[in-house]
Chain A
Amino acid sequence: MTNTDDDAGWFAGGPTPEAAAATDGEAVRSRIADGEADAPRDWPALAVESGFADSRDDYYDRLHEASVAATREAVRERERADDKQLIHAVRAMDDCERTANELAERAAEWAGSLFDDAEPGVDGARAVAGRDPNGELERRAVSLAERVADLADERDALSETIDRIAPAVAPNLTEMAGSELAARLIALAGGLESLAKKPSGTVQVLGAEDALFAHLSGRAPSPKHGIIYTHEYVRNTRPADRGSAARGLAGKLTLAARVDHYAGERRESLHDDLRDRMATIRARAEDESDSATEGGE
């Protein structure tokens, strides 16, 4: 876990004095990339004190070399991430979440028969996992709860990975939709290229296939939105305008996916256009409430 000890600094942190003293490129790079600390400290002074560097100047020279190498490496790795990796990550995240919840039910049911204060859900399983078991049955029930907690942790770790690689795979789509929704859209379409080739009306209802086919066979009205419902612009627009909001958002998401696939650069105007469009749609609600008040006078 994180800490604020002397050895939380990027230049220390090894479990043994040998590992802590290792200054070879690889180890230092990964400590810069993956290390953590609860709070900053006077690292230059601590590094000199611990013998890592001879002086502040020497410390900064080493930090420069290490941070340039670590960041170059991290950039390369993130840019290597492609849409297929993103799809694996988002599907694995969903599987972990679903399995964790399912297993949590079993774990809670079992724990309830052994302990008085067992709570349902993943949080309940975490509490059970922290118990000191007595006898074989309790050992098994606690162990099962530990699997639930591990799966839930894996789900969170996958979510962080998605946050990190989605901007590299599809910068505009991610800025517009957030990393999770961007990953889901790419997964539903089967890849960034196929998402880029879909008409915006299809993007609008991705994830609402059941409702769409019910509509096509004449049993239901056409769906207004699919997975993009999770976007704030759709969900937080009043129901009467949600169809327009979903259509407007889907149009810009489609353009964003095309820019990401064919050009790969960030394009500011795209995001400005969407904001303007949403401002217009939301202004309708205000206009109507204004005129309603006027009419009442």
Chain B
Amino acid sequence: MTDPDLPAGVERREFDGETRLATRGPPVYGEPTADGWRAWDPERSKLGGMLELGFDTGLTGGETVLYLGAASGTTVSHVADFAGPTYAVEFAPRPARDLVDAAEPRDRLFPLLKDARTPSRYAHVVESDVDVVVQDVATRGQAEVAVRNAQFLADDGRLLLAIKARSEDVTAAPESVFESALDRLRGAYEILETRRLDRFHEDHLGVVATPNATAQR
């Protein structure tokens, strides 16, 4: 059942006759479960969408993760199921309440009520040289958030980013929003792969990047 493109701990499994991405852990949001596995819905999760679309995420399982924009913990709970220590940053209290419930039974998932735009407020908790930063924040300045958080990534680490065009500027075409976001990202990252997530998420761009060794970070 293991798929070479998927990280260890993520499998395609049958739920009611349908093959779907799944991780093993306690259920969080009423998702279908079978034999201790929980279906990971790519329509509700940008990272799930990126895995389903075959992005080269570099994820192998067991890595240390900083997740920005964890919301109510839908995606980050799946991440914590297959990854190692996982720091989940969310700024809004209402979804963070559900995030804490998702984190409680996962002993390597650490919920933090913090603003991803001010990393100094959580740099005393989140360790340096994490393997992966996953970012899904729906505020303006998404690229800027990624740049400010580059300091947490190991030199060979990966940024897995979903950029939502509508959060930046609705009066501009998504393509030009993505282009200027990528320009800002290049200040701190080397872009490895970009692809639209439209099959699952309209007007979103998926980005895989790695810290740029030459850039001033």
Which residue of the partner chain B has the closest CB to A77? B93
Interface: A226 (CB within 8 A): no
B79 CB to nearest A CB, Å: 15
Interface: A235 (CB within 8 A): no
- Interface 9-residue window, one of B3-11, B17-25, B118-126, B180-188: B118-126
Cα of A276 to Cα of B110 in the assembled complex, Å: 37
Number of B positions contacting A (CB below 8 A): 34
Chain A residue contacts of B115, Cβ below 8 A:
163
The 8 A CB mask of A14-46 against B (1 = contact, 0 = none) is 000000000000000001110111111111100
Is B109 a contact partner of A64 (Cβ separation < 8 A)?
yes
Cα of A282 to Cα of B170 in the assembled complex, Å: 10
Is B108 a contact partner of A64 (Cβ separation < 8 A)?
yes
Number of A positions contacting B (CB below 8 A): 45
Interface: A216 (CB within 8 A): no
Which residue of the partner chain B has the closest CB to A32? B125
Cα of A122 to Cα of B74 in the assembled complex, Å: 46
Known A-B contacts A71-B100, A275-B170; the reply to A64 vs B107 at CB < 8 A is yes
Is B85 a contact partner of A36 (Cβ separation < 8 A)?
no
B16 CB to nearest A CB, Å: 28
A-contacting residues, B146-176, CB 8 Å: 151-152, 166, 170-171
Known A-B contacts A36-B123, A67-B112; the reply to A60 vs B85 at CB < 8 A is yes
B107 CB to nearest A CB, Å: 5
Is B123 a contact partner of A38 (Cβ separation < 8 A)?
yes
Known A-B contacts A71-B96, A75-B97, A279-B170; the reply to A8 vs B107 at CB < 8 A is no
B47 CB to nearest A CB, Å: 19
B150 CB to nearest A CB, Å: 11
Known A-B contacts A60-B85, A168-B93, A171-B94; the reply to A279 vs B171 at CB < 8 A is yes
Chain A residue contacts of B109, Cβ below 8 A:
64
Interface: B113 (CB within 8 A): yes
B103 CB to nearest A CB, Å: 6
Chain A residue contacts of B96, Cβ below 8 A:
71, 74-75
A58 CB to nearest B CB, Å: 12
Interface: A61 (CB within 8 A): yes
Cα of A71 to Cα of B85 in the assembled complex, Å: 17
Interface: B129 (CB within 8 A): yes
B-contacting residues, A155-186, CB 8 Å: 163, 167-168, 171
Closest 6 CB pairs of A and B: A275-B170, A37-B124, A40-B128, A78-B93, A67-B110, A37-B123
Other 17 A-B pairs with CB < 8 A, given A36-B120, A43-B126, A67-B111: A39-B123, A39-B128, A40-B151, A42-B127, A43-B124, A44-B127, A63-B125, A64-B110, A68-B111, A71-B96, A71-B99, A75-B93, A79-B93, A79-B94, A171-B92, A171-B94, A264-B94
Chosen A-B contacts, 8 in total, with CB atoms closer than 8 Å, are A33-B113, A36-B120, A39-B123, A61-B107, A67-B103, A72-B97, A167-B91, A167-B92
